[in-house]
Amino acid sequence: MNRKQPVTSFGWAIKQRLAELQMDQKTFCECYGIPPSRLSNLINGTRKAARYRKQVAELLDIPEYFQ
């Protein structure tokens, strides 16, 4: 049974920006001290993770309309 969550618009913005920076999710998380599970939560929308949402948006320069 496949229980994968769909990617949110904010999640696509994260993925696009990481691709532009040629950085994978694991490296990004290690560089900025963000738990990989929280980044995954943000990408899939499974948890709000407000603290990390703001941090990720600022680090990746993601516009506010995605937030």
List pLDDT tens digits, range 48-66.
Answer: 888 899 999 999 999 876 6
DSSP 1-59: ---PPPPPHHHHHHHHHHHHTT--HHHHHHHHT--HHHHHHHHHTSS--HHHHHHHHHH
Name the pTM for this structure.
0.86
- Give the pLDDT of residue 50: 87
Task: Tell me the mean pLDDT per 10 residues along the chain, length 67.
Answer: 77 96 97 96 89 93 76
